[in-house]
Amino acid sequence: MTQSPTLVNTSAPVIEVRSVRKAYGEKVAVDDVSFAMPPDAILGLLGPNGAGKTSLIRMITTITAPDAGEIYFQGAPLNGYHPTQIGYLPEERGLYKQMYVGEQLLYLARLKGLSTRDAKSRAQEWLAKFELDGQWKKKVEELSKGMQQQVQFIATVIHEPKLLILDEPFSGLDPVNATRMRTEILRLHAAGTAVIFSTHRMEQVEELCEYIVLIDQGRNILQGKVRDIRRQFIEHRYRLTHPGDPLPAALAQRYELLNHTPSTVDIQLSEGEDGNVLLRALLDMGVHIQGFQELLPSLNEIFIKRVTRLNA
């Protein structure tokens, strides 16, 4: 039964997961996971296959309940009202293939508490945004896979949820439609919607997410701001871009050089050595510097490093 909203604390984390555990028989899928998601954040929920991400999302959306621990939504214990504040696009798409697109959107929007009138006008508006306005009377099975995905995205956002949970939202979309969906997600976020974004595509996470939670084998192994995490994994490496002339021999004698290309080389410093001192040394050696940049590890490198280290 849907419960009425409890007191909403808009400065509280939109979702707070406290020591949550979930097992399926002997298999512990989520093991003592805790994190708090700042209001209006875009948070990347990451982890290798089988890490427990879907199990966690299913608890946040109240599809299943934790065996232990608590989940809070805007400061209140998760209850039957909260699903109306959440939009979830699961990785397995789940539209009724035989239903007409318009009818389906109205049905799903009504389930989320919209009046028929609002549901209809919003469905028409959203379909027009995705250039699907001619599809109202088509059966879902008559649409391409990418179009079905866009219709399901519309069903996920039509009730203007406070929290959007998107599992691989861009998979199967061509670049134009992926860009269109990304624009709509960012527009919703700018209007105050918090987003949990689950994907294996790290470049998308770097582009969209300010925060990440990384889970592996059911446990939360890394969390925080992407910027801070990248700094934590800093490797004291600098990329020099030069015109392609041979580099002075003294450079290779003094420093470890990596990843040569005709016009770049990465220079490894040891811990405690200063990038500014390196820059000065390059100038003193007469190197023609076209570019000089500290290399921060990518999320992909951090993911592989953390996950393989723990599984070794």
Ligand X SMILES: Nc1ncnc2c1ncn2[C@@H]1O[C@H](COP(=O)(O)OP(=O)(O)OP(=O)(O)O)[C@@H](O)[C@H]1O
Positions in the binding site for ligand X (CB under 6 A): 24, 27, 29, 47, 49-55
CA distance 59 to 302: 27
Least gap, CB of 8 to ligand X (angstroms):
29
Nearer to ligand X, 219 or 239 (CB): 219
Contact 198, 121 (CB under 8 A): no
Nearer to ligand X, 56 or 101 (CB): 56
DSSP 8-state code for residue 84: G
Nearer to ligand X, 103 or 168 (CB): 168
Least gap, CB of 50 to ligand X (angstroms):
4
Least gap, CB of 15 to ligand X (angstroms):
17
CA distance 55 to 63: 9
Least gap, CB of 200 to ligand X (angstroms):
7
What stretches of the chain show up as alpha helix (H) in DSSP?
A: 53-60, 101-111, 116-129, 145-157, 175-190, 202-208, 226-232, 249-254, 275-284, 299-311
Least gap, CB of 23 to ligand X (angstroms):
9
Contact 68, 21 (CB under 8 A): yes
Least gap, CB of 196 to ligand X (angstroms):
13
Nearer to ligand X, 29 or 181 (CB): 29
Burial class of residue 20, CB neighbours in 10 A (0-12, 13-18, 19+): buried
Nearer to ligand X, 43 or 158 (CB): 43
Nearer to ligand X, 51 or 229 (CB): 51
CA distance 220 to 34: 7
Amino acid making up residue 152 = Q
CA distance 275 to 82: 50
